[in-house]
Amino acid sequence: MSEPLQPSHGDYLRDESRRTGHAEQIVFPRSEEDVLAALAEARANRWPVTVQGARTGVAGGAVPEGGLILNLSRLTAIEAAGDTLRVEPGATLNAIRAATPPGYFFAPDPTETTASIGGMIACNSSGALSFLHGPTRNHVLGLRVALASGEVLDLRRGRDQARGRAATLGAWQGELPALPQPAVKNAAGYFTAPDMDLCDLFIGAEGTLGIVTAATLRLLPAPAAIVGLMMFLPSTAAVVDLVNALRAGRTASPAPLAALEYFDSRCLRFLQDRAAILASKGIAVPALPPGAACVYAEWHAPGAAAAEAAMLAAAEQLPDLGANPDACILADNPHELEKLKLFRHAVPELVNAEIDERRRQHPGIIKLGTDMSVPDDHLADVCALYERDLAATGLDHLIFGHIGANHLHVNILPRNADDYAAGRELYARWAAQIIAWGGSISAEHGIGKLKRDLFRQMAGEKAIADMRKLKQHLDPTGLLNPGTLLPAP
Ligand SMILES: Cc1cc2nc3c(=O)[nH]c(=O)nc-3n(C[C@H](O)[C@H](O)[C@H](O)COP(=O)(O)OP(=O)(O)OC[C@H]3O[C@@H](n4cnc5c(N)ncnc54)[C@H](O)[C@@H]3O)c2cc1C
């Protein structure tokens, strides 16, 4: 049973978006039955329910706006069976990795390893390795989902599918709407397709259609050899050329290219300026060429020779781009790879810490972090757009992200309320242009409560109305995660 919210529960009113909400009740289920009991209590009291995993989301989806917080962080069981894992929703990515049998790996890797699998499924999260392996969706074999009514769906990929667009989900039978899906990396809105696996409807739905109470995950054979390379380039034009060349050579490469990541020169300086903080956390900052931007590439191969050949082929292209191959940082063993990973993860973490510091003086500001993707042929355009507008406004910022998918996070760090207002204006202008290019306003973080208006622009009124109707079929009283994903009518 739920308990009234106490001051000691303050952390549960926030997520990593740094937005703070409010709620009256909170419950920490320890079983699916507890989840169903909490739903019954919410229905009886007409409490809206906000579902929470680990609250690492950055779009405010787990931030309550009144009613009951249903926090799943105590549902953490993990059971390994061959090349699959059966998990409860509160299991963290760290715990999943620890429970993965030797010889296998779980590919989805949102940088934040304290994220829960329920949250990852709800946001269809992705990370560096999604370049090769796709987002969380591609690694889910089945789901158990509690609907607002208390019905539990047991959906298995390959078994439980729509017929054309006709679907049966518990007591509801009907047609799934045709919704626009941009041809880019995308985590915005519901996913539907003819003959779809019905579990896919709940993946990426941000907890608005049902609560994931268990999942079966697919493990992949661990690659025999992994090589990572940090390459430093003199200009954004050289970065774009390298990315395009590596993507074009992908199929001919001796080893699959698994990740292609970007850090602008500001990120590198930001990390160097905080070397002492990082050292206190056991993270070493390597020597970084001043003024250069960085592309990190990682190859997963059946053997060391293939991985090394792929890495050398990339490094050979650097002189033509004005870059020095000898300045590269190579990681070819688990220890070195982990060091580079920690270093890369430090960027978003330290940005959040910096924003917290600034908020002490200017409580009205929050980080403005973009999550937009564009088609391949607009990568150079979007880089130019960001750089031109940021230079014109003088806003403090840094840019990093999954450049292999044309998906960059511009992090604007407002120094005061005026900066915040100027940053919001830029964000809206960029979104309009990116939508016009056929891109997505959210490639991996989801819409949450922060991007509903941008999502309305991207999806259009008809698609929003169709999504709202679909939600009404599965959640007639709007119990689950009201205020998330769908803009108010
Ligand atoms: C430093 C940092 C780096 C990050 N890097 C990445 C990255 O590279 N890629 C990426 O994709 N994300 C990234 N994120 C965002 C975040 O980690 C992911 O969105 C993650 O999947 C959220 O998981 P969570 O358990 O914290 O979910 P929460 O924040 O608790 O919830 C997120 C959403 O999922 C819903 N939800 C949670 N559990 C369930 C459930 N069991 N059933 C139904 N709905 C549920 C919530 O209602 C909410 O709408 C980053 C975050 C941080 C802080």
* 405 in the same domain as 269: yes
Closest CA to ligand 1's atom 41? 118
Ramachandran region, residue 274 (left: φ > 0; alpha: ψ -120 to 50; beta: rest): alpha
* 114 in the same domain as 98: yes
* 147 in the same domain as 239: no
Last residue of a domain, one of 195, 221, 247: 221
Closest CA to ligand 1's atom 28? 55
Three-state DSSP class for residue 177: coil
Both tokens of residue 131?
């370049």
Last residue of a domain, one of 23, 51, 71: 71
Q: Is the pLDDT of residue 158 over 80?
A: yes
Q: Is the pLDDT of residue 167 over 90?
A: yes
* 126 in the same domain as 9: no
Q: Is residue 313 part of a domain?
A: yes
Q: Is residue 470 part of a domain?
A: no
Last residue of a domain, one of 71, 100, 124: 71
For residues 278-298, give the mean pLDDT: 90
* 201 in the same domain as 288: no
* 191 in the same domain as 128: yes
**Residue to probe by mutation, ligand 1, list 49, 51, 133, 260, most atoms within 8 Å of CB:** 51
Q: What is the pLDDT of residue 444?
A: 95
Q: Is the pLDDT of residue 458 over 80?
A: yes
Angle between helices 236-248 and 379-393 (to 10 degrees): 160
- Render pLDDT for 334-349 as a digit per residue (tens, 0 to 9): 999 998 888 888 998 8
Q: Is residue 453 part of a domain?
A: no
For residues 131-154, give the mean pLDDT: 98
**Residue to probe by mutation, ligand 1, list 52, 92, 485, most atoms within 8 Å of CB:** 52
Binding pocket residue ranges, ligand 1, CB within 6 Å? 15-16, 51-58, 61-62, 72, 89, 110-112, 115-116, 118-120, 122-123, 125-127, 206-207, 211-212, 348-349, 444-445, 481, 484
pLDDT band at residue 412 using 50, 70 and 90 as cut-offs: very high
* 198 in the same domain as 254: no
CA 133 to ligand 1 centroid distance, Å = 19
Q: Which atom of ligand 1 is found nearest the CA of 56?
A: 26
**Residue to probe by mutation, ligand 1, list 50, 51, 56, most atoms within 8 Å of CB:** 56
* 281 in the same domain as 399: yes
* 269 in the same domain as 154: no
Q: Is residue 149 part of a domain?
A: yes
Q: Is the pLDDT of residue 429 over 90?
A: yes
For residues 26-54, give the mean pLDDT: 98
Q: Is residue 488 part of a domain?
A: no
CATH number at residue 17: 3.30.43.10
Q: What is the pLDDT of residue 443?
A: 97
pLDDT band at residue 281 using 50, 70 and 90 as cut-offs: confident
Q: Is residue 455 part of a domain?
A: no
CATH number at residue 130: 3.30.465.10
* 234 in the same domain as 174: no
Q: Is the pLDDT of residue 251 over 90?
A: no
Q: Is the pLDDT of residue 9 over 80?
A: yes
pLDDT band at residue 18 using 50, 70 and 90 as cut-offs: confident
Domain with 186 in it: 78-221
Provide the percentage of residues in the chain whose pLDDT is more than 70: 100
Q: Which atom of ligand 1 is found nearest the CA of 348?
A: 1
CA 249 – CA 383 distance, rounded (Å)? 22
Q: Is residue 363 part of a domain?
A: yes
Q: What is the pLDDT of residue 343?
A: 82
Q: Is residue 117 part of a domain?
A: yes
What's the burial of 273, exposed, middle or buried (CB within 10 Å: 0-12/13-18/19+)? exposed
Both tokens of residue 235?
């200009």
Look over the chain and give the mean of its residue pLDDT values, rounded to a whole number: 95
* 65 in the same domain as 10: yes
φ/ψ of residue 178, rounded to 5: -85, 120
CA 310 – CA 257 distance, rounded (Å)? 8
pLDDT band at residue 96 using 50, 70 and 90 as cut-offs: very high
For residues 138-148, give the mean pLDDT: 98
Q: 63-72, 246-255, 463-472: lowest mean pLDDT where?
A: 246-255
Q: Is the pLDDT of residue 203 over 90?
A: yes
CA 449 – CA 162 distance, rounded (Å)? 30
Q: What is the pLDDT of residue 248?
A: 93
CATH number at residue 363: 3.40.462.10
* 357 in the same domain as 275: yes
Q: Is the pLDDT of residue 488 over 80?
A: no
CA–CA distances in Å: residue 59 to residues 15, 126, 205, 450: 8, 15, 13, 6
Q: How many structural domains comprise the chain?
A: 3
